[in-house]
C-alpha cells in the first residue's frame, strides 16, 4: 500500500492507494500549528490507523508547500510553523520505522499526473500550475526531478522574454514579485496576473472568473484579453520547453478549468518553439485537489 499525505497550512489529507494506484481510503484532519510533537503524532497516528486497517506496513510519502529538506536536514515551509525548521523526514522515518519520502507539493502534482493511466508512457512530463502563482514540476521516467534546492519547476520565477515585451508593449509595468525580483512571469500569468493584465489594458477591476464569464458571453474586451493572454503564455511556455523538451504538458491550478486555454495554447505554441521541435501534448490536469495526495503516495513507485 502507498500512503500519500498532502500537508497544508489548514489540513492534513491522507490517501491510501493500492498497487494499481486506486484510492482505497481517505481522511482529513486539521494541521497542528503550535506543537512539533503534535504534528509528528498526528501523522504517526494516521499511518498506524492505515497500517491496522489494511494489515500492511505501507509506504509513506508526503507533499508539503516548501523545501522538504535543507542541507542540514530541516524542513522549511512558512505556512507549517509547527514543523518548519525541524528534521521532519528523519524524525518520521524513525518513528514509523520505514523510509519516509517528502517532496514539494508542486512536484507531487506533476508526479500524480505523470502516473495517470493515459500519461504513463510519456518519458518527460511537465506539470504547470496556473493558480495563485505559477509553478510546477518535472517528471522523468516516472520520477520527480527536485534539483539542488527543490526549485525545479518554478517556471513562474523566470523573467518575461523579450517577445512578451513586444506583445504587451514596452511600457508595460515591470511588476515586483513576491520573491523579491521584478518581471517574473507569474505576476502576469497567474490568476491574479490574468486579472491585472485585464485592468492594465481596460482599466476595469475584475477577478479572473468574472473575465472568463464575460468571455463565455461573447464580450469583445474579454475575448481580446484571453487571446493576448494565450499568446503570452505560449511565448513563456515555448522558452521553458526549449529547456525541458517535454513530451506532455499538464496544466493545473484555477485557470486550468478554463478549457479554451489548452486547445488554443497547443495551436499557438509552435511559433515559440525551435523549428525542429514538435509540439508536446497539452492537457488539463485530471486529478484536481487529489493530486497532492496521489503524487506523494507515488514517491515510492520508482523503486
Task: For residue range 14-49, list pLDDT tens digits in order.
Answer: 999 999 999 999 999 999 999 999 999 999 999 999
pLDDT value of position 303: 66
Q: pLDDT tens-digit profile of 40-83?
A: 999 999 999 999 999 999 999 999 998 999 999 999 998 899 99
Per the annotation, does 131 bind a ligand?
no
Beta-carbon neighbour count of residue 224 at 10 Å? Answer: 14
* Sheet with 281-284, edge to edge strand ranges: 143-144, 134-140, 124-130, 248-252, 281-284
**290 pLDDT tier (thresholds 50, 70, 90):** confident
Q: Report the candidate in 237, 249, 244, 256 with the shortest Cα–Cα distance to residue 194.
A: 256
Per the annotation, does 4 bind a ligand?
yes
pTM over 0.75: yes
Per the annotation, does 236 bind a ligand?
no
**149 pLDDT tier (thresholds 50, 70, 90):** confident
Per the annotation, does 201 bind a ligand?
no
Per the annotation, does 112 bind a ligand?
no
Q: Is the model's pLDDT at 148 over the cut of 90?
A: no
Per the annotation, does 10 bind a ligand?
yes
> What's the whole-number mean pLDDT along residues 174-195?
95
Percentage of the chain surpassing pLDDT 90? Answer: 91
Per the annotation, does 140 bind a ligand?
yes
pLDDT value of position 4: 97
Give the separation between CA 47 and CA 41, rounded to whole angstroms. 10
Per the annotation, does 133 bind a ligand?
yes
pLDDT value of position 86: 97
Per the annotation, does 177 bind a ligand?
yes
Per the annotation, does 134 bind a ligand?
yes
Class of residue 25 by CB neighbours under 10 A (exposed 0-12, middle 13-18, buried 19+): middle
pLDDT value of position 175: 94
Q: pLDDT tens-digit profile of 193-233?
A: 999 999 999 999 999 999 999 999 999 999 999 999 999 99
Q: Report the candidate in 289, 301, 302 with the shortest Cα–Cα distance to residue 26.
A: 289
Per the annotation, does 8 bind a ligand?
yes
Per the annotation, does 5 bind a ligand?
yes
Which domains are assigned to the chain? 2-110+290-299 (3.30.420.40), 119-285 (3.30.420.40)
Amino acid at each position: 500500500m502507498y500512503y500519500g499525505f498532502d500537508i497544508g497550512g489548514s489540513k492534513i489529507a491522507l490517501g491510501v492507494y493500492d498497487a494499481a494506484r486506486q484510492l482505497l481510503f481517505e481522511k482529513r484532519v486539521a494541521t497542528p500549528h503550535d506543537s512539533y510533537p503534535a504534528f509528528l503524532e498526528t501523522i504517526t497516528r494516521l499511518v498506524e490507523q492505515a497500517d491496522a486497517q489494511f494489515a500492511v506496513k505501507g509506504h509513506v510519502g508526503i507533499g508539503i508547500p516548501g523545501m522538504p529538506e535543507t542541507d542540514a536536514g530541516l524542513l522549511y515551509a512558512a505556512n507549517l510553523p509547527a514543523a518548519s525548521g525541524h528534521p521532519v523526514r528523519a524524525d518520521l522515518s524513525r518513528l514509523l520505522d520505514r523510509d519516509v519520502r517528502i517532496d514539494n507539493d508542486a512536484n507531487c502534482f506533476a508526479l500524480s499526473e505523470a502516473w495517470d493511466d493515459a500519461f504513463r508512457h510519456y518519458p518527460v512530463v511537465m506539470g504547470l500550475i496556473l493558480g495563485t502563482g505559477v509553478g510546477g514540476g518535472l517528471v522523468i521516467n516516472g520520477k520527480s526531478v527536485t534539483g539542488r534546492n527543490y526549485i525545479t519547476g518554478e517556471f513562474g520565477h523566470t523573467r518575461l522574454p523579450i517577445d512578451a515585451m513586444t506583445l504587451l508593449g514596452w511600457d508595460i509595468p515591470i511588476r515586483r514579485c513576491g520573491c523579491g525580483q521584478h518581471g517574473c512571469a507569474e505576476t502576469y500569468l497567474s490568476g491574479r496576473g490574468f486579472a491585472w493584465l485585464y485592468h492594465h489594458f481596460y482599466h476595469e477591476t475584475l477577478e479572473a472568473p468574472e473575465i472568463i464569464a464575460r468571455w463565455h458571453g461573447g464580450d469583445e474586451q474579454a475575448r481580446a484579453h484571453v487571446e493576448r493572454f494565450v499568446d503570452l503564455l505560449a511565448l513563456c511556455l515555448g522558452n521553458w520547453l526549449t529547456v525541458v523538451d517535454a513530451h506532455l504538458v499538464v496544466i493545473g491550478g484555477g485557470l486550468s478549468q478554463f478549457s479554451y486555454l489548452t486547445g488554443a495554447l497547443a495551436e499557438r505554441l509552435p511559433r515559440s518553439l525551435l523549428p525542429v521541435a514538435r509540439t508536446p501534448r497539452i492537457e488539463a490536469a485530471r486529478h484536481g485537489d487529489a493530486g497532492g495526495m496521489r503524487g506523494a503516495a507515488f514517491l515510492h513507485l520508482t523503486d
